[in-house]
Structure 1
Amino acid sequence: MQHPNVLMIICDDLNDYQGVFGGHPQAYTPNIDKLAASGVRFINAQTNIGLCNPSRNSLFTGIYPHQSRNFGLDKKTTQKLFKHNKTIMEQFSEKGYYVMGSGKLLHSNIKDLWDEWGVDINNYGPFAYDGEKQVGHPSVPQPFRSIGDIDGSFAPLSDIPGFSDDEVKGDKAGWVYSGKSGKVFNYFDETNRDLVPDELHARWAAKRIREMDAQTDTKPFFMGIGFVRPHTPLYAPRRFFDMFPIEDIQLPIIKKDDVSDTYYKDNYPVERSSDDRWYTNTSKGQMYSKLLTESYGDEQEGLKHFLQAYLACVAFVDEQVGIVLDALGKSRFADNTIVILTSDHGWQMGQKQYLFKNSPWENSTRIPLVFKVPGHNAGTELQQPVSLVDIYPSLIDMCKLGENNTKDVNGLPLGGYSLLPLIESASSEDWEGPEGALTAIATDIVDYSLEAQTFSYRTHDFRYIMYPHGQEELYDLKNDPNEWYNVAADTSFENHLFNLRTQVKNLITSNQ
């Protein structure tokens, strides 16, 4: 195929909780599993930074965060990155592709990058609404609910937000698509309700595939679909919650005081702001874990309720993925379309007393990554650690887009490597990239120096973490897959520590 079509599906905050990736034994993801069985799955794929905005900027430009200095929500670095470097959408457009998308792709979508944009809606909705503003769902106990309308909320859609007389502001309390617009989300029962944004994006994609299938135009297409679930707020139809009864929820194995031999707590202390809201991305995970325990009076009970909602949203988004893949499979494009499914980063479910994304450990950095390339190794599992930054050069290679990813002399070189040699041979011997995958930890503090950043490096056998003040963590994944024991101070690992430290420093300095 000279110029195959491309369908890229990105989920938000989706860790390895899919059947085929084995992250949780109760995960129900038949559509993602079916896709993986027809393609190549990278079981050690990693994000390049643990926060939505910089992760997606990195993915769509092929530039590491340490190259762009885009370590957080800083608009200045984002604008500079897009000014000098082409997104993958621009690359496809220059080669004559019809470029279309819908949903959460870039964190703040730039519609000018697309020939056609799908559903224009607040992707995170619906929201609980107290008649005046978006709020945490009233069924979530305090103090966890005080986190707010996004991270502090989870409930089935059938649990229509109701408030006490002293809480309600006016007569419009309930569900809304967006508090700013005031657009009501109508729910009467499971079969008579409005569609949530992810459902709208899935149906738009399926409809456009069917429409293109009926046309005679042979122009290749690039379609991006961004599903927001299982990002918080964790809302989904009741039937998905019913799949995971609270009394049957299996919690991840959590080692008591597992955080005690780490340095994360020293670099990112738990703090609380004066207005009683949690505020730094780097400390949210520990704060959320504490609040969940306080809200339910027991750590395990709190985790069961949150995990039920997360698994429900994973099953829900899998169904949306299936709607899109079913339309593609029934079209004439089935045999000449590359399909990619991934996530912007993972999610930590209470391990190391941490409930959030953006940690330096496996649950937060590991992501699902599936490539279905027609004619190549269906059902193959690849162990080589790779990362999101490798998707851009892979598509350049697979679709013959050329090597010009910059707009001017200030543009940065691609940070990743094409995955095509791995996909073709299923052997790491043909991999031209680094031994491991590099992840940065996002920060709200605008400090562009590399010395101020935390980096996590995942190889097949080890995870190495390098903190700003010289502290290190090292986990022997062969013997400690749960990352319970930091062996950085163990002299028997001294050579491994030196080798991994050198790899990380060389990787950071080699592609500036």
Structure 2
Amino acid sequence: MKIKHILFSSLLPVSLTLISCGEDNATTSTQVNKPIMVEQNTQNQPYNVIMIAVDDLNNWAGYLGGPAKTPNLDKLAAQSSTFTNAYSVVPACNPSRVAVMTGQRPETTGAYLNETNFRDVKGGDKRVTIPQYFAKQGYKTSAAGKIFHHPRGQKNNPAPMSDPISWQSQFAGPTGTGGDKEYLNHEGWAKWHGGIEAYQGLPIIPYIRKHGIWGPIKQTDEETGDYKTANYCANYLRQSHNKPFFLACGIFRPHSPQLAPQKYFDMYPLESIKLPAVPAEDMQDIPAIAQNNWSSGFAKLVMDRPDEWKRAVQGYLASTSFADAMIGHILQAWDNSEYADNTILVLWGDHGFQLGHKNRWEKFTLWKQGSHTPFIIKAPGKQAAMINKPVTLLNVYPTLLELANLPAKPDLDGVSLTPLMDNAKADWQRPAVLTYQQDNNAIIFENWNFIQYKDGSQELYNQTTDPHEYNNLIGQPQYAEVIEKLSEWLPEVKIAQTEYRPGG
């Protein structure tokens, strides 16, 4: 992928200051106590890799200053290279995960949509994913839960969009949690709205009519699919392996529906829930192309029922804490294993999640709340640090290769993040480049989020002075030079969005 390289020192007269992240955009230095260094492997043996992917995990984690109680994430962040300003390449599950696992942008792979199996796109059969590359280097590769767009599933044959060719073994178990039937009516729609098909003239599609539910379930942790996924990985780490391994674990919550055992809801009493700030006038400066999407009718329906909105926020927070507990189960097994000091761990969420922000629900936008996500790497020889430079998950692949001392792969679109892991204040002249469907892009650099849509309309936000992106600065002449410079990073399309065979 060719992306034009430019220097940003000339983006004046407006001050370019680093943005801080999280719901309150405040990460304090007290969250990292003492720098922690994992000793280098003195036996010169290959490092193992653990990858933990969490579905729809936004920036509400505690270590990012958010309202969710996430003690395991917080502890891991305090021990790791923690990228507090990290974004998905695409704010949608499948294309985000394809970008991570291939190290290539959607403009390169043609995987822009959730429906697209990247293997069906021209050249997709030849793309080498991270586990495939590690397998060629002598690694065992295993996956549990959702790493690509689908988990393996429990049928005899693995789901095609779990990309079975990438794995030597896959856990054939459930994901997420049960309990949804208690919240659905006899027609299969959420009881709280009864299956309403439109609101304020905006359609409510079947997916969100069914999955837009939240509440406690009767299952214990141990009875849930996500626990079984985490436990598979924990047991894997308790075993002795005669080869280095690449182990991937995908946790499904807090993806919709937001259902979790009762104890996680008890952590967030309804009377304590604070609703996201959604100013009534916020959409007045948004281009027509971005005024609404498929979730807008649903978002307005929820927000017009404040009690239900509180229950939805409670459900997301509870599901996040549940996911954190599943992560903790894996981390505890790792800490107690023979692999504690010779393993690289990378944890990422596939994109953000909105609960009313700009009249949206879930993801699928280029605003910060739809794309900002946790990204943590704990690696031998690297000190703990909070890294505020803007990065994307495109950089996972090349970073893992360098950390594992494996040969570089020249066709990757991302770059290694090890310079930032060695020095969090290192000069970093690369923005985070995002895509949502072809020719809709965001360029995030320092305090700016510049968005350009396929019809040419634009948005510009100063994330330091306007952390929730309420004030679109497009049209103000003092920002013309900023926009010109950021525009030079708009990606070039190699494979068009429509160039794939149906059925993926």
Query: Structure 2 length as normaliser, TM-score?
Result: 0.80
CA displacement 1:438-460 (0-9 Å, x = unmatched): 11114xxxxxxx5xx21111111
Which of residues 285, 295, 301 in structure 2 aligns to 1:291?
A: 301
Residues 460-504 of structure 1, C-alpha deviation per residue, up to 9 Å, x if partnerless? 110000011111111112221221111110011111111111222
Q: Which stretch shifts more, 322-331 or 129-138?
A: 129-138
Q: Would you say the 8 A contact 1:258–1:353 is kept in 2?
A: no
Please say if residues 275 and 310 of structure 2, whose CA atoms lie closer than 8 Å, have aligned partners that are also in contact.
yes
Aligned position for 1:151: 211
Q: Does 1:344 align with 2:350?
A: yes
- The answer to whether residue 388 in structure 2 is matched with residue 383 in structure 1 is yes
- Would you say 1:29 and 2:70 are equivalent positions? yes
Please say if 1:204 is aligned against 2:204: no
Deviation at 1:140, TM superposition (A): 6.0
CA distance in 2, matches of 1:383, 1:356: 25
Decide whether the 8 Å contact of 1:19 with 1:29 is kept in 2. yes
The 5 Å alignment of 1:349-498 reads 349-378=355-384, 380-404=385-409, 413-429=411-427, 431=428, 435-442=430-437, 450=438, 453-498=439-484
Structure 1 residue ranges (4+ consecutive) displaced by more than 4 angstroms after TM superposition:
122-126, 129-134, 139-142, 144-150, 509-512
Deviations 1:418-450 (A, max 9, x none): 011211122332x4xx521011114xxxxxxx5
C-alpha spacing 1:320/1:130, structure 2 compared with 1 (3 Å): closer
Amino acid at match of 2:277: I
Alpha-carbon distance in 1 for matches of 2:110, 2:228: 35
Note closer, same or farther for the CA distance 1:237–1:304 as it changes in structure 2 (3 Å cut).
Answer: same
How far 1:112 moved relative to its partner? Answer: 3.4
Structure 1 residues 10 and 489: CA distance shift in structure 2, 3 A? same
DSSP-derived class of the 1:250 partner: coil
Q: How many residues were matched structurally?
A: 434
Distance 1:77 1:90, change over 3 A: closer
Q: State the match for 1:251 in structure 2.
A: 275
- How far residue 404 of structure 1 moved from its aligned partner, in angstroms, is 4.2
Offset at 1:353? 1.8
Tell me how far apart the structure 1 counterparts of residues 488 and 266 of structure 2 sit (CA, whole Å). Answer: 49
Give yes or no for contact 1:258–1:351 (8 Å, CA) kept in 2. Answer: no
- Give, in whole Å, the separation in 2 of the partners of 1:317 and 1:224: 15
Alpha-carbon shift at residue 131 of structure 1 (Å): 11
Name the structure 2 match of 1:115.
Answer: 168
- Give structure 1 stretches of 5+ with no counterpart: 159-186, 271-282, 406-412, 443-449
Which amino acid is 2:289 matched to? N
2:326 counterpart of 1:320: yes
Superposed displacement of residue 509, structure 1: 6.3
Q: 1:239 to 1:139 in 2, by over 3 A?
A: farther
Going from structure 1 to structure 2, the CA distance change for 1:468 and 1:321 (only over 3 Å counts) comes to same
d(CA) in 1 for partners of 2:94 and 2:111? 9
State the TM-score, normalizing by the size of structure 1: 0.79
Identity %: 29
Is residue 95 from structure 1 mapped to residue 137 from structure 2 by the alignment?
Answer: yes
Which residue is 1:267 aligned to? 289
1:1-21 deviation digits (Å, cap 9, x = unpaired)? 452111110000000111111
Which deviates more, 220-229 or 133-142?
A: 133-142
Note the residue ranges of structure 2 that are not aligned, 5 or more in a row.
Answer: 1-40, 150-160, 198-203, 497-504
Matched, 1:310 2:316: yes
Change (3 A) 1:502 1:21: same
C-alpha deviation, 1:244, in angstroms: 0.8
8 Å CA contact 1:137, 1:155 repeated in 2:
no
CA distance, structure 2, for counterparts of residue 228 and residue 149 of structure 1: 19
2:10 is aligned to: none
Cα distance change, pair 462–143 in 1 and its aligned pair in 2 (3 A): same
